[in-house]
Structure 1
């Protein structure tokens, strides 16, 4: 990872296993010592939700966010969980075009009684002016 280019923002769809809800990285910012994230999604039980936070780098090279609580559009009680990013791998575009850079992400979202793996290849976040 080229730390001189950090922080770097990315966005894109994430695949969830088991396939019980949708998840999109509306913004994932990779820093040298943490990963900041904003996810949106929807599940069949409670509908659309947003979740955001900051995952700190751990001693084993992963990034861990504790006390993660999704915010649903409806007022329901949500379990508090953790999100761990197991892989955060930035791939620079071979031609040097930053807007074509990608970030491979793999992780696990854990709640007290369930967990889901998520993964995806995100594209560089380009702001619209």
Structure 2
């Protein structure tokens, strides 16, 4: 990773496994020591939700945020869990223009009660403000 280019901001759809809900990165900001994120999604239980936070780099090279609480739009569901970003890889387009780079992302969302786990992954494109 070229740390001279950081922080970089990305967005895009994420694939969920098992495929039980939708999840989109509306903003993912990659720093050398942390990953800031804002995701939106929808599930069959609580409906539309947002989840955001800052995952700190761990000793094994992943980024972890504990105590994540999604905010649901229409219900009072309050699951609490962890987000762990296992792979955060900036892919250069080869031109030296960081605004054209992409970010490959793999991670796991773990909820505690009841216990559940979903893998997420995707290739995100640069975030451009309008």
TM-score (norm 2): 0.95
Paired residues of 2:42 and 2:48 also in contact (CA < 8 A): yes
Q: How many residues align?
A: 128
User: Are positions 1:49 and 2:25 aligned together?
Assistant: no
Pairs within 5 Å for 1:38-77 = 38-77=38-77
Counterpart of 2:30? 30
Q: Which runs of 5+ in 1 are unaligned?
A: none
Counterpart of 2:123? 121
Q: Once structures 1 and 2 are overlaid, which stretch shifts more, 84-93 or 97-106?
A: 97-106
Q: Deviation string for 1:2-60 (max 9, x for gaps)?
A: 11111100000000000000000000000000000000000012110000000000000
Counterpart of 1:7? 7
Alpha carbon RMSD of aligned pairs, Å?
0.9
- Measured in 1, the distance between the counterparts of 2:24 and 2:118 equals 14
Q: Which runs of 5+ in 2 are unaligned?
A: none
User: Are positions 1:105 and 2:105 aligned together?
Assistant: yes
- Measured in 2, the distance between the counterparts of 1:95 and 1:2 equals 14
**Structure 1 residue 99 displacement after superposition:** 2.7
**Structure 1 residue 98 displacement after superposition:** 2.6
- Measured in 2, the distance between the counterparts of 1:85 and 1:31 equals 13
- Measured in 1, the distance between the counterparts of 2:81 and 2:93 equals 35
- Measured in 2, the distance between the counterparts of 1:86 and 1:49 equals 23
Paired residues of 2:9 and 2:27 also in contact (CA < 8 A): yes
Q: Once structures 1 and 2 are overlaid, which stretch shifts more, 16-25 or 66-75?
A: 66-75
